[in-house]
Amino acid sequence: MAFLDNSGDIILDAVLTEAGRRRMAEGNFKITKFALGDDEIDYSLYNKNHASGSAYYDLEILQTPIFEAFTQVNAGINYGLLPTTATDLLYLPIMKVNELTVITADTRAIASSGSSGMFMVTDSSGDSSAAIRTVLSDNSINSINGNSPQTCVLLETGLNTGQGNVPNGTAANRKSYLAANGLIDSRLVVFYDSRFFNGVKGLAKNSGFSNNGQDNALMSQLILSDGSRASIQSGLDNYAAAMILGIKNQIVQPSSGTDTEADLSVISGPKGIVAAVAPTINPGLDAEYSLYGGETSIGGIDCKFIDTTIFVQGTSTSAQLQIPIRIIKLA
């Protein structure tokens, strides 16, 4: 009678993060919950066609070398495992930026700037004889007026299964694949650098985003309103959080032709929500341009800029997106 193998006992040694050490010194160190992460894992290594059978499907994943613990708070867990209890899900939503020509032409949404992929936010404070927005528009660069945003970066979530693949983008599929499984992000968290922005506008409750079920004509009403400040830790220094609304994305496959809704939506499949991100610049940004940014020339005119990133995360699905932002101002 052989002994049982008891080597599977899992005891892990934890290391304190910077925040943990600080709290220890302050005397308010108290752990109340835990989360699980898998940041090192590349799930594309899961080989469902391994010739040796199912026991070998995850062989490469299980051999993934794991990093030692980081002590920086932001490097702890970036994505995390999801507490979803359903076991029959085959699809999960993703989040994408909608920069389609029709959308940027007909709505408040803007596209990123050329090959840089960055979204321009203009700082017009101090503009006098020349205006930064004129400089940018002369060069066909879309931008958000960061002093009083009326335009935005438009986001969509949904199952991007691809044109011609099931499930396609019908209203019924939205209901059965997304709504029925709690995969609709009616609220999203936006993390922004509070050194440069003092808030973020999102879509108001009475906004709409839909198409005509017959001829696929866009019917949108994107109304911006202030997002609410949220006390959610981003783990990033200087970052603050705001909560914005996710509006029902009612772009559906029209009867006029399969997948023609791709003219309006970047989600090829059932669509979840649409949301807008329009950051508002901190008034009086000045020294920050030399501290954190640089100088460039647009159309022969000298400008100052700061590059930063806005992070957006769905509260229900944990779908995430990073939006690269360039704040730009006349030099």
Interaction residues for other proteins, span 213-272 (CB under 8 A): 231-236, 241, 269
Q: How far is the CB of 258 from other proteins (least distance, A)?
A: 17
Determine the Cα–Cα distance for residues 164 and 166; give it in Å rounded to an integer: 7
For residue 88, state whether it binds other proteins (rule: CB under 8 A): yes
> Is the torsion defined by CA of 25, 26, 32, 37 positive or negative?
negative
Residue with tokens 């839909």: 210
Query: Which CB sits closer to other proteins, 46 or 56?
Result: 46
Site string for other proteins, 124-143 (x = CB under 8 A): --------------------
Pick from 6, 87, 206, 214 the residue near other proteins by CB under 8 A.
87
Q: How far is the CB of 262 from other proteins (least distance, A)?
A: 14
For residue 89, state whether it binds other proteins (rule: CB under 8 A): yes
Query: Which CB sits closer to other proteins, 197 or 311?
Result: 311
For residue 77, state whether it binds other proteins (rule: CB under 8 A): yes
Cis peptide before 254 (omega within 30 of 0): no
Pick from 194, 226, 315, 324 the residue near other proteins by CB under 8 A.
315
For residue 59, state whether it binds other proteins (rule: CB under 8 A): no
For residue 284, state whether it binds other proteins (rule: CB under 8 A): no
Pick from 12, 55, 287, 291 the residue near other proteins by CB under 8 A.
12
Q: How far is the CB of 19 from other proteins (least distance, A)?
A: 5
Paired tokens of 188: 């999203």
Query: Among residue numbers 142 through 201, which ones bind other proteins (CB under 8 A)?
Result: 158-162, 165, 189, 191
SS3 string, 268-313, reads: CCCEEEEEEEEEEECCCCCHHHHHHCEEEEECCEEEEEEEEEEEEE
N-to-C CA span, the chain: 82
For residue 51, state whether it binds other proteins (rule: CB under 8 A): no
Determine the Cα–Cα distance for residues 216 and 258; give it in Å rounded to an integer: 10
Determine the Cα–Cα distance for residues 284 and 321; give it in Å rounded to an integer: 28
* Backbone phi and psi for residue 30, each to the nearest 5 degrees, phi listed first: -150, 120
Query: Which CB sits closer to other proteins, 119 or 311?
Result: 311
Determine the Cα–Cα distance for residues 22 and 7; give it in Å rounded to an integer: 36
* Interacting residues of 162 by C-beta distance below 8 A, sequence separation 6+: 268, 269
Pick from 1, 3, 55, 68 the residue near other proteins by CB under 8 A.
68
Stretch that binds other proteins, among 38-46, 104-112, 245-253, 296-304 (CB under 8 A): 38-46
For residue 58, state whether it binds other proteins (rule: CB under 8 A): yes
Query: Which CB sits closer to other proteins, 223 or 230?
Result: 230
Pick from 61, 102, 171, 223 the residue near other proteins by CB under 8 A.
61
Nearest partner of 37 among 8, 6, 69, judged by Cα:
69
Pick from 69, 105, 131, 180 the residue near other proteins by CB under 8 A.
69
The count of other CB atoms within 10 Å of the CB of residue 104 is 17
- Radius of gyration in angstroms for the set of CA atoms belonging to the chain, rounded to a whole number: 23
For residue 83, state whether it binds other proteins (rule: CB under 8 A): yes
For residue 43, state whether it binds other proteins (rule: CB under 8 A): yes
